Structure 1
Amino acid sequence: MLLDQQNTIMRILQSTHRPRSDVHDGAKFRDRLPVKDVESLQCLEAELKMNPDAKSELTTFLGLVGGFDLKDTVWRVLKATFTTAVARVMNWRGVNNKIGVQSLVLKEVVIGAVRQNPLTGKASNKDIEFNIIKWLHLAGDREGGRRERLKKREAQQHIADPH
């Protein structure tokens, strides 16, 4: 009986599901994301500022990465948007000669993408921004960054105290 009910539900869902023609597949962003360098970031920013359709398409494309809670969704979207190398030269406000995410159009895209997830759709800007800040702050630890700092510290200690 349960199997029959499940099959009936699946038939109903499949019959009511129509592919949306207004949703883009994000093909033009597949090769450009995650952003690999500052120049690519600047080009993408310029395109998003000039073309609202591109902004909408990228928001939809990044919204498909999903996540099971707010932190996971924000971190997945950011990982799909920026490489670790780019994230290391960014922070929220742009202090210390870094790129300020706060003023980027991509910030709006990330927030929009996070809100597309039904589990995080009602998250406040403040909560999303907090998770963006945390992800950027920890970028230096990813992909061996913590290990490299430890090696440098040990080398400096060895130079300062050779015995």
Structure 2
Amino acid sequence: MMILKKMVMNLSKTNQMGMTLPEDISLPLTSLEEVNFLEDQLEDRKKMQELTVYLGTIGGGDVASTTRRVMSILMTNELATQLNWMGHGEKRGFRGLKLCKVVCDAVKRAKPEPGTQDAAVENAAKLWLRNARDRSGGRRQRLIRALERSEQVAKDL
């Protein structure tokens, strides 16, 4: 009953605020420049709330699948390959972005299960970012290159 009550409350909040993406926000994000621009826009709490509500309408079977769906709507795989959780190396850190808070809040809004914590959402987001290079044919391309190299080594012997 508590879950149903929470879902009804979330639906009524969504209907009051609207479920459309704010006009000046375009998703999916495709570049770090767009991330920086959106981060600046999210200084406005109203915009941050509107984006959270919009992303919170995305469903999923559990916290992990909802997080993956939100992340894939939020950014392209090409952009995700330029990000990691902490910002090590040449990559930008996702953890420190306002977008991270938006994703956590949106997933918790979409999955009103008792006990959904930021840590579960963050772990799913880390995994999604870590595997970005494998999506859109990346894994297949690496396999093809490895096979070509092994064929070349076999010829050289």
Question: RCO greater where, 1 or 2, for CA within 8 Å and sep 6 or more?
Answer: 2
* Residue identity matched to 2:153: A
* Residue identity matched to 1:115: K
Query: Quick one: which of 31, 55, 59 aligns to 1:37?
Result: 31
Q: CA deviation at 1:27?
A: 3.9
Moved over 6 A (4+): none
Residues 78-100 of structure 1: CA deviation (Å, up to 9, x unaligned): 01101000011111001121110
Q: CA deviation at 1:119?
A: 4.3
Partner of 1:26: 21
- In structure 2, list runs of 5 or more residues that go unmatched: 1-7
* Counterparts in 2 of 1:39 and 1:128: CA distance versus 1, 3 Å: same
Percent identity for Structure 1 against Structure 2? 29
Query: Quick one: which of 121, 127, 146 aligns to 1:153?
Result: 146
Partner of 2:46: 53
Residues 100-159 of structure 1: CA deviation (Å, up to 9, x unaligned): 011100000000000112444631111111111111111111010101111222233334
| Contact 1:36–1:85 (CA under 8 A) maintained in structure 2 | yes
Q: CA deviation at 1:34?
A: 0.9
Q: Distance in 1 between matches of 2:102 and 2:74?
A: 10
Q: Distance in 2 between matches of 1:134 and 1:18?
A: 30
* Residue identity matched to 1:112: D
| Contact 1:70–1:128 (CA under 8 A) maintained in structure 2 | yes
- In structure 1, list runs of 5 or more residues that go unmatched: 1-12
TM-score by length of 1: 0.80
| Contact 2:85–2:126 (CA under 8 A) maintained in structure 1 | yes
For the pair shown, the structure with the greater C-alpha radius of gyration is: 1
Residues 2-59 of structure 1: CA deviation (Å, up to 9, x unaligned): xxxxxxxxxxx9xxx79843335224266x11101111111111111x2111111100
Partner of 1:139: 132
TM-score by length of 2: 0.83
